[in-house]
Chain A
Amino acid sequence: MGLGSLASRTLKSSRILSSQYSRFRPIVTKPGLQSPDASSAAAAAQPEPTPPPPKKPVGGARVEFTNPDDALEVFVDGFPVKIPKGMTVLQACEIAGVDIPRFCYHSRLSIAGNCRMCLVEVEKSPKPVASCAMPALPGMKIKTDTPLAKKAREGVMEFLLMNHPLDCPICDQGGECDLQDQSMAFGSDRGRFTEMKRSVVDKNLGPLVKTVMTRCIQCTRCVRFATEVAGVQDLGMLGRGSGEEIGTYVEKLMTSELSGNVIDICPVGALTSKPFAFKARNWELKGTETIDVTDAVGSNIRIDSRGPEVMRIIPRLNEDINEEWISDKTRFCYDGLKRQRLNDPMIRDANGRFKAVSWRDALAIVAEVALKVKPEEIVGVAGKLSDAESMMALKDLLNNMGSNNVWCEGTGTSPNADLRYRYLMNSSIAGLEKADVFLLVGTQPRVEAAMVNARIRKTVRASNAKVGYIGPPTDFNYDCQHLGTGPQTILEIAEGRHPFSSAISNAKNPAIIVGAGLFERDDKDAIFAAVEAIAKKGKVIRPDWNGFNVLLLNASQAAALDLGLVPESSNSIESAKFLYLMGADDVNLDKVPADAFVVYQGHHGDRSVYRANVILPSAAFSEKEGTYENTEGCTQQTLPAVPTVGDARDDWKIIRALSEVAGIRLPYDTLGAIRSRMSTVAPNLVHTDEIEPAAFGPSLSPECTQKVESTPFKAAVENFYMTDAITRASKIMAQCSAMLVKK
């Protein structure tokens, strides 16, 4: 106590500090401080003040005026802004660049208006107005920085904090908590609450979402998300007043595939990520913007890593593909990246056990065998998670060795890559919102591509679109007619015998979504011909709207077909003597001859490793820079978030090294060089974030003489949570698969 005052006295008398202060403290005069006649003379002499520069919207957002004639003008804090009709006061302020605090409002959910944090003052209104709910009327004068608005915010914040527990040190949301940030920016510095705080029992929502319901501020964002976006009505607000609890009433786990998004949506730490609980604070994480590869959607994600470890995956905004959501598989597969990793090249010795060797030896053995084998016995299979660069390198290498039997798993035994419209989602994922009738053929979007399903649900909710489904019985989170189970139904609709065909012909923008699971069928050409017949009759493919869509299953299929990974013969595996599996774990290896030499290049010790003779470790998607094309044809790139494991290398670099050792050197050494090689084959693969639409339509498709078989369609994805090497190695996915999959 005594020392402190001594210190301050010495500081005050210190000449150095006072000189510093006098040096940096500017002396200004204001017009009001000067004498009256001097100030009026100054005012008269001043020129007209220049108008303030136009304000930029919050976050650099773009404003879309659907009807430019319908624009209104309102005044936000004195600044005029033009807004489209139908916007709320909060949205008008966002356009004007003023960020209004809010808890319950979310731009993608319905308006609740129950948190009252967005109160602003509007002229001629007796009370402050909830800006998230009040429509902006022309000429409204909105004031967000007046004492009334500030007092309202401080008051609301005080009420919210009254029953909120003092959990910040142990709460996972600390550092990225809306309540913390807004109370720092808009709350008062002291509270007046001296009573007992209420506490609430925690609810069990499953292995993914951790609940500490005492922290809940009853904003109902999670309830609205579950009802509207996810389509499962499980959560509700039970009780009333300060005893309100968010819960499921009966003990019910959140089985929706979008359940992880409530973690992002919850503004406080009531709903957090259970696998990520207590692992890291958000400020120690490095975020890398990359792309998800667990399905064909290519959702934009941000991988948060701390050092060499991926700590969590959160979504990035991409209006065209995944909006702000990601599926549970995308979000929680990251712990599979830490298990079952291949980190050293291995060779199977005579006893059948693997021995770790150096790269030099491994590549030498592989090259030796490859050169001894006849060209038509060399087969290469690219995996589900392969990037375009490595597939290009694999094809180049095998072609240079004389073989033309390279394909990507999932594209079937005889893929046809001639016409792009036959394997892409031609209306694009965002374009599905314009459709008013959907025909789902052999595809269950909920488990195959959860974000496409979310988009279909959004369309069905917004415009009451009709959905017809042909396939095995599954449950949908929107109203869907089950038309049939097999190809016969497609023929009926094509010939107009089915009641649904009238729905298609009367629709303005019909969309047909064919599942890529049909690629595996023998009668796939006939099925596609029948679907194209439906498309022709229903005018599905027009210059202004192309509703013929194929929903792919893997992240690598589109790029593989664009690069031409089409095998010469459909049963080359049975006569293969040298099989190069690049991350291919779902290939049926039963037919591989016993003396074939199998090389497995991948990052996880999954199924194919058991048959491999040589293992070459490669990098996973989070550790390499690769190009992936999603099901709509949009090329995106991943970025390395963490360093790779052990001695693993990038896929294409391994193949380049192998080519060098084998004497058939491939002509590229750098990423740029292999990308320019890719651009000679498929130029769209170097135009990132752009969709290259399919050039030709069904007018060029060949005649089909095949007949459809009557076997009903099978489900392409058996278990949503375990589809590829990374998810099969993940403990969280195993828990989800055990607890959340409906038996």
Chain B
Amino acid sequence: MLARLASQRFLEIRQAFRQSSQAYRSFSTALNYHLDTPDNKPDLPWEFSEANKAKVKEILSHYPSNYKQSAVIPLLDLAQQQHGGWLPVSAMNAVAKVIEVAPIRVYEVATFYSMFNRSKVGKYHLLVCGTTPCMIRGSREIEEALLSHLGVKRNEVTSDGLFSVGEMECMGCCVNAPMITVADYSNGSEGYTYNYFEDVTPKRVVEIVEMLRRGEKPPHGTQNPKRIKCGPEGGNTTLLTDPKPPPCRDLDAC
């Protein structure tokens, strides 16, 4: 009897461990070290497209010429958009060459920020906000709906390469919770959009996905037809007039 209780307890402990490790694993999109795959190797050539080379020059002009290193984040972002939503090692090496630093410095920046995807994502990367305000308004159901509809796990790409689902931190739309954002990498860096779809319901989110699959552009912003931007249903009840001017124009006098 004791043995049975002990083995039961052992299984419970193992299950608890398994759950926690799973939750831990899905917090990062990729590992902090690189493993060669056929489409992600340091010797594969990669360079900015012609149109993007002009953008690179424009970005570099924002920073002093002896501090080219400061341009690393916008350049990595551009490279990510060009490559369909993720950064291969060769792209990071190309950025390192542009800003004249050792590649490891670029790797450090790319691994620090979770929005730099270092493994493949879908053409439409769906990010569900999972922070508290969205969570208590049902973001877990949104994520459930997306994952079960697409048939993937978190950070996994669908077999047609179109969609992937990830979790994101708070994007500031707590008034319109729950929300998802769609990073659209289907048109390279020229057609890159990053739009919020707020006030979603599990049903609506599936509709959005199907619209994206057909190539349509669903209207972004709040998906609740009765709301205007972040106002309540039925229109604003406050802030109906112009803002009151300050008590006196000369702040030093009052």
Contacts and interface: CB of A to CB of B under 8 A. Distances in A.
A233 B89 CA distance: 17
Interface residues of B, number: 18
Interface string A238-257: 11100111011111000000
Query: Do most interface residues of chain B lie in helix, strand or loop, or is the interface mixed?
Result: helix
Interface in A193-231: 196, 201, 203
A238 B33 contact: yes
A715 interface: no
A245 B42 CA distance: 20
Contacts of B66: none
B102 interface: yes
Interface in B66-92: 89
Interface in B19-40: 20, 28, 31-34
B108 A245 contact: no
B102 A243 contact: no
Given A196-B20, A249-B111, A250-B89, A236 B34 contact: no
A247 B104 CA distance: 9
Contacts of B103: 249-250
A309 interface: no
Contacts of B28: 239, 243
A561 interface: no
A237 interface: yes
A237 B17 CA distance: 28
A235 B103 CA distance: 10
Interface residues of A, number: 19
A245 B33 CA distance: 8
Given A233-B102, A240-B112, A247 B33 contact: yes
A660 to B, nearest CB: 62
A239 B33 CA distance: 9
Interface string B87-102: 0010000000000011
A234 interface: yes
A238 B105 contact: no
Contacts of B34: 249-251
Contacts of A201: 31, 33
Contacts of A247: 32-33
A250 B28 CA distance: 18
Query: Do most interface residues of chain A lie in helix, strand or loop, or is the interface mixed?
Result: loop
B179 to A, nearest CB: 25
Contacts of A234: 102, 104
Contacts of A239: 28, 32, 111-112
A236 B32 contact: no
B112 A233 contact: no
Contact of A236 (B20, B89, B108): B108
B107 interface: yes
B75 to A, nearest CB: 17
Nearest to A251: B34
Nearest to B104: A236
B42 A250 contact: yes
A234 B31 CA distance: 18
Contacts of A251: 34
Contact of A238 (B32, B42, B102): B32
A105 B34 CA distance: 29
Interface in A245-275: 245, 247-251
B108 A238 contact: yes
Contacts of B112: 238-240
Nearest to B92: A249
B41 to A, nearest CB: 9
A237 B108 contact: yes
Nearest to A196: B20
B28 to A, nearest CB: 7
A203 B33 CA distance: 9
A233 B107 CA distance: 12
A196 B24 CA distance: 11
A702 B141 CA distance: 93
B104 A249 contact: yes
A250 B110 CA distance: 13
A243 B32 contact: yes
B105 A236 contact: yes
Contact of A233 (B17, B42, B104): B104
Interface in B227-250: none
A572 to B, nearest CB: 52
A240 B28 CA distance: 10
A354 to B, nearest CB: 51
Nearest to A248: B104
Given A237-B108, A243-B28, A249 B33 contact: yes
A238 B111 contact: yes
B114 to A, nearest CB: 9
A213 B104 CA distance: 18
Nearest to B41: A250
B115 to A, nearest CB: 13
A611 to B, nearest CB: 47
B110 to A, nearest CB: 9
A236 B107 contact: yes
Contacts of B101: 233
A258 B220 CA distance: 56
Nearest to A244: B32
A201 B34 CA distance: 12
Contacts of B102: 233-234
B32 A235 contact: no
A234 B105 CA distance: 9
Given A239-B32, A245-B32, 9 more contacts: A233-B104, A233-B105, A234-B102, A234-B104, A236-B105, A240-B111, A245-B33, A248-B104, A250-B107
27 contacts: A196-B20, A201-B33, A233-B101, A233-B104, A233-B105, A235-B104, A236-B104, A236-B105, A236-B107, A237-B108, A238-B108, A238-B111, A239-B28, A239-B112, A240-B112, A243-B28, A243-B32, A245-B32, A247-B32, A247-B33, A249-B33, A249-B89, A249-B103, A250-B42, A250-B89, A250-B107, A251-B34
10 A-B pairs with least C-beta separation: A233-B102, A249-B107, A236-B104, A239-B32, A238-B111, A238-B32, A245-B32, A236-B108, A250-B34, A240-B112
